[in-house]
């Protein structure tokens, strides 16, 4: 599985981190983490995979619902999680300030969405779907009106994100059979679950008119946004 040399402490920390994962996802998750970490090391022009590479790989390759447990295991192994900096910290600070002063959930969500849409031009449509039983109900959003105000959890990319309890990035929606067409202009999508007590209660849904619009930085950033927004639920 390993194609590069690893710092031994880091490799042991990885083994501890994945040991608590459900068996059904453990092997695949380990393969993805190793691949991402080694790629990151190559980009740093390093011949050895180090703690910074592993921490980055955990953020972009591990399913969202097991990520908190992985982080805790890495802390207990003595790794410094602050080595991986969340992208766009100033935007996160703005959103956190709004949340801390919030009184009305919908109004607060609208203000947060407005910040995101104004800062990232590729976020052409952005909305919050709120879980209600077996359906996702559209809450505040910014962009063109959509007819998809209620989406069964059994359908679409939004439903898949809840069922898999993980972020889903689609580079080309026309190539994904799960996509529920909202706009002819939409070419890519990212959906990020919002968790409360380890259960997905809502999600951030973002569409872009650009192919391959979303990357690992978007994932790390938006998952942090989702953590902040979870305070509203």
The string of pLDDT tens digits covering residues 190-233 is 999 999 999 999 999 999 999 999 999 999 999 999 999 999 99
Entry pTM: 0.89
Confidence grade of residue 154 (pLDDT, cut at 50, 70, 90): very high
The last residue of a domain, from among 41, 60, 83: 83
Mean pLDDT along residues 149-172: 95
Indicate whether 146 and 35 sit together in one domain.
no
The last residue of a domain, from among 32, 52, 83: 83
Question: If DSSP states are collapsed to H, E and C, what string results for the chain?
Answer: CCCCEECHHHHHHHHHHHHCCCHHHHHHHHHHHHHHHHHHHHHCCCCEECHHHHHHHHHHHCCHHHHHHHHHHHHHCCCCHHHCCCCCHHHHHHHHHHHHCCCCHHHHHHHHHHHHHHHCCCCCEEEEEEEECCEEEEEEEECCCCCCCEEECCCHHHHHHHHHCCCEEECCHHHCCCCCCCCCCCCEEEEEEEEECCEEEEEEEEEECCCCCCCHHHHHHHHHHHHHHHHHC
**What is the average pLDDT score of the chain?**
93
Confidence grade of residue 82 (pLDDT, cut at 50, 70, 90): confident
Predicted local confidence at residue 59, as pLDDT: 92
The string of pLDDT tens digits covering residues 23-72 is 989 999 999 999 999 999 999 999 999 999 999 999 999 999 999 999 99
Indicate whether 125 and 213 sit together in one domain.
yes
Predicted local confidence at residue 1, as pLDDT: 81
28 is in which domain, residue-wise?
A: 5-83
Residue the block writes with tokens 């459900």: 22
Supply 148's token pair: 């998809």
The last residue of a domain, from among 49, 65, 83: 83
Residue 84 has pLDDT above 90, yes or no: no
Q: Please give the backbone phi and psi of residue 182, each rounded to the nearest 5 degrees, phi first.
A: -110, -35
Indicate whether 35 and 131 sit together in one domain.
no
């Amino acid at each position: 599985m390993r194609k590069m040399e690893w710092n031994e402490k880091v490799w042991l920390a990885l083994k501890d981190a994945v040991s608590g994962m459900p068996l059904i996802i453990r092997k695949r998750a380990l393969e993805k983490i190793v691949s991402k970490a080694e790629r990151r090391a190559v980009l740093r022009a390093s011949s050895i995979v180090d703690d910074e590479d592993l921490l980055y790989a955990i953020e972009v390759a591990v399913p969202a619902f097991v990520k908190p447990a992985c982080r805790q295991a890495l802390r207990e192994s003595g790794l410094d999680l602050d080595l991986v900096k969340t992208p766009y910290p100033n935007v996160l600070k703005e959103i956190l300030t709004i949340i801390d002063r919030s009184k009305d959930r919908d109004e607060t969500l609208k203000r947060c969405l407005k910040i995101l849409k104004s800062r990232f031009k590729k976020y052409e449509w952005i909305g919050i779907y709120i879980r209600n039983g077996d359906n996702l109900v559209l809450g505040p959003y910014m962009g063109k009106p959509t007819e998809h105000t209620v989406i069964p959890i059994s359908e679409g990319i939004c439903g898949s994100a809840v069922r898999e309890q993980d972020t889903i990035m689609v580079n080309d929606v026309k190539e994904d059979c799960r996509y529920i067409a909202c706009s002819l202009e939409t070419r890519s999508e990212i959906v990020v679950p919002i968790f409360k007590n380890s259960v997905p209660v809502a999600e951030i849904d973002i569409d872009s008119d650009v192919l391959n619009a979303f990357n690992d930085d978007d994932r790390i950033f938006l998952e942090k946004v989702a953590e902040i927004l979870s305070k509203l639920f």
